[in-house]
Amino acid sequence: MSVLALDAVRIRNDVDGREIVRGVSFTLEPGGVVGIVGESGSGKTITCRAALGILPEHFTIASGRIDLDGHDVATLTPKQWTGLRGSTISAVFQDPASYLNPSLTVGSQVAEVVRVKLGLRRKAARLHAIELLSSVRLGKAVFDQYPHELSGGMLQRSLIAAAIAAEPKVLIADEATTALDVTVQAEILDLLADLRDTTGLALVVVSHDLAVVAQFCDEVLVMREGEVVEQGPVEKILYHPEHEYTQLLIAEHESYGLERYLVPS
Ligand SMILES: Nc1ncnc2c1ncn2[C@@H]1O[C@H](COP(=O)(O)OP(=O)(O)OP(=O)(O)O)[C@@H](O)[C@H]1O
């Protein structure tokens, strides 16, 4: 059974009646990785926010359907959403520092997620948080460090630890590696690939960077101005793009080395 399925989803800004997303469909099985690429403002993040049940105020799903682990999300109450967020679907975004409180240690913040989401007592939550940090390859010392003491890559790992605390089935990584340098970016992608392999985590990877998608995704959606202009298996879309816009995106990437990630087919 799919863990996340979008069927012809259209999202409207009710303030001006503008449709921000016009017909997105994909199905994600356990362990699957779907990529969404496209220029800034094309609707990638809004699509993810719909799947997470956190659309901005005045945005609504105008038509189509989203199924999350067998639940039609249109039928969910806010309380049911709160239950599913974190434990079924979770997310990490760009700029990890902004999601952490600078005056609390990283460990205490991960432990708090564990306490709330898994209902563990303080001491057990602390131990579990240390295990989670270790699963994202962060040593015990990180537990007592403050956000400003960690690098961007370490902060993103901490947030991944918090995001996977309640063993979600789907993780959305929305430009999660964009702000990181290339080596750290590769380490974080490796980590996500490991989690997928060991836990069957399914991923939605949003990136403006085709190299990230080429390395990592099974299927890719190319979005422009709210529409999916092309969609299919990564090898097909990246080697044999049919749409002019996809060809343009690839041409831009080739100038800085996409071919390194593409194995000729
Ligand atoms: N909170 C908001 N209020 C009003 N409009 C918004 C809001 N968030 C996004 N939008 C609009 O929705 C459209 C799609 O934005 P979205 O953030 O999904 O794009 P994106 O493809 O993720 O771009 P980026 O790569 O820059 O993150 C844009 O026109 C944007 O201005």
The correct answer on CATH 3.40.50.300 for the domain covering 4-95+169-260 is yes
The pLDDT, as a whole number, for residue 251 is 86
Q: Residue 203 is which amino acid?
A: L
Q: Residue 180: its pLDDT value, please?
A: 83
Residues 6+ apart with CB under 8 A from 61: 9, 10, 11, 50, 55, 74
Reduce the secondary structure of 169-185 to three states and give it as a string: CEEEEECCCCCCCHHHH
Ligand 1 pocket, 41 CB below 6 A?
yes
**Protein residue with least CA distance to atom 31, ligand 1:** 41
Confidence of residue 261 (pLDDT cuts 50, 70, 90): low
Percent of the chain with pLDDT over 90: 75
In this structure, the residue with its CA closest to atom 18 of ligand 1 is 43
- Give the model's confidence band at 265: pLDDT under 50 very low, under 70 low, under 90 confident, else very high: very low
Instruction: Report helix, strand or coil for 162.
Output: helix
Whether the predicted pLDDT of 263 surpasses 60: no
Q: Strand 227-233 relative to strand 219-224: parallel, antiparallel, unpaired?
A: antiparallel
Distance from Cα 73 to the centre of ligand 1, integer Å: 21
Exposed e or buried b per residue across 239-262, where buried means at least 16 C-beta atoms within 10 angstroms of its C-beta: eebeeebbeebbeebeeeebeeeb
For residue 265, the surrounding DSSP H or E stretch is none
Domain boundaries, the chain: 4-95+169-260
Tens digits of residue pLDDT in 1-32: 899 999 999 999 999 999 999 999 999 999 99
Task: Give me the amino acid identity at 79.
Answer: K
How remote is the CA of residue 76 from the centroid of ligand 1, in Å?
Answer: 24
Q: Which residues, including other chains, have CB under 8 Å from residue 106's CB and lie 6 or more apart?
A: 100, 133, 142, 143, 145, 146, 147, 150, 155, 158
pLDDT tens-digit series, residues 225-241: 999 999 999 999 988 99
Q: What is the pLDDT of residues 155-204, one digit of tens each?
A: 999 999 999 999 999 999 999 988 888 888 888 889 899 999 999 999 99
Q: Is 208 in the pocket of ligand 1 (CB under 6 A)?
A: yes
Nearest to 212, CA basis, from 36, 45, 14, 70: 36
**Among 23-27, 52-56, 89-93, 213-217, the least confident range:** 213-217
Sheet holding 219-224, edge to edge: 89-93, 170-174, 202-206, 33-38, 219-224, 227-233
Give the single-character DSSP code of 161. H
Q: For residue 19, list its beta bridge partners.
A: 12
